[in-house]
Amino acid sequence: MKWSRNWVGMLFFCAMAVGVCQAAGVSSENNLSAINAIAAKVLKTYPGSIDSLSVEKHRGVLVYEVEVVNPETGIKSEIKYYADSGRMVLDDEDRMGGWDSAKKRFIDDKYRLLVESPVTLLSAVEKVMEKVPGQLCEAELEHNRAKGKVFFEIEVVTDTSIVKMFVDVKTGQFIAPVVDD
């Protein structure tokens, strides 16, 4: 029951974001350009690696929520970027689990691979959006411990559906959905 309620809520927010983008004449290319520009602004203020990015409509405004992991400090920052004003708000900051402060590195595979891999969340989003034209709804780093897989899960809303794609963090290749046992 909880899963279906979360799915319906996510579908609703994605549909709202697509509706706003379509009403404003935002194409896939413009959406990708906006995402890259916003990510650059966020990373200039909060350096690190992006591990999550989502788009939703809040009170009539497109809001990009970006999570950045700083490999120098082990701090994860959650930032909201308001598309209408360009305003950035630090929503939350936490010390990451799996951070070895003495060695200043992640011991958790998920974040270690994120900061060491040449494949970024943004490059994975670009790869997916080349294959599936639409509007980005959400992109995030995932880790299936049972299968030993670290990957980006990316959701794109098209005119007819929500498409979920998976990109391997190590290789940048598309992979089949990784389901928990």
**Token pair listed for 158:** 């098209």
Q: Mean pLDDT over residues 74-91, rounded? A: 95
SS3 string, 48-87, reads: CEEEEEEEEEECCEEEEEEEEECCCCCEEEEEEEECCCCE
| 20, 57 Cβ separation under 8 angstroms | yes
Q: Cα separation of 53 and 138, whole Å?
A: 6
Whether pLDDT at 180 is above 60: no
133 in a structural domain: yes
* Residue 81, domain member (yes or no): yes
User: What is the crossing angle of helices 28-45 and 121-131, to 10°?
Assistant: 180
Contact status, residue 29 vs residue 126, Cβ threshold 8 Å? no
On whether residue 180 sits in a domain, the answer given is no
Model pLDDT for residues 135-162, shown as the tens digit of each residue = 999 999 999 877 888 999 999 999 999 9
Q: What three-state secondary structure class fits 161? A: coil
Flag whether pLDDT at 29 surpasses 80.
no
Instruction: Decide if pLDDT at 1 tops 60.
Output: no
Quote the number of domains for the chain: 1
**Confidence class for position 23, pLDDT limits 50, 70, 90:** very low
pTM: 0.80
pLDDT above 80 for 123: yes
**pLDDT tens digits, one per residue of 35-78:** 999 999 999 999 999 999 999 998 999 999 999 999 888 899 99
**Residue 32 included in any domain:** yes
54 is a domain residue: yes
Domain span at 143 = 2-175
